[in-house]
Structure 1
Amino acid sequence: MRLVVVVLLTLQLAFISVGLGMLLALMLALLRLSGSLVLQWIARAYIFAFRSTPLLVQIFLLYYGLGQFEAIRYSVLWPILRQPYWCAIIALAL
């Protein structure tokens, strides 16, 4: 029974993160196709930064690193960022 729960959680993480990742990829593609050099540079820098770091490092930085900043701990995002489930979805979508 536990295996079924874990498989369903894994599928849920996969589908949500792929959906969010596709939305993010669409926005980045539109930025790269825009005529503005500044927007193209922002998209290229984002793509370079996230493609050149391992996913495990991104997950660690998101889950353990962001909590080190007081501004984030007292922001509206903290209830989301302190939970491993949402950090995994965000990291996998990036």
Structure 2
Amino acid sequence: MITLDSDSLYALYSDSIMRCNIFKWTKRPPQHIKNIPDLHCLLMNYTPLSLTYPFKVASINKRSRKRLIIKFLFDLHKDIYESIWKLRATAWKTFKQHHSITKKEE
């Protein structure tokens, strides 16, 4: 994604997004969201500098950078929904059925 739209010869940042502070919580889950300010920023609908930096270093113009970041965030949202949220919702539904929890009791 970064190397395709880059104007830089040094745009060899294939894993620079995964090295971003936003994704470090996947290896060591924190005790609190405040321990990951970049992720907290993203969840508050702000784009942290640590996410935009690899695009900026790759000399991608601002318009392309915005388009790529929005596409990346859309794909990330879709992946989270498909791989985490659906499983969580299914597990929660099973838990409620197993414990006879209804809407009146929630």
Query: With structure 2 as the length reference, what TM-score do the two structures score?
Result: 0.31
More helix by share: 1
Query: With structure 1 as the length reference, what TM-score do the two structures score?
Result: 0.34
Q: Quick one: higher RCO (CA 8 Å, sep 6+), 1 or 2?
A: 1
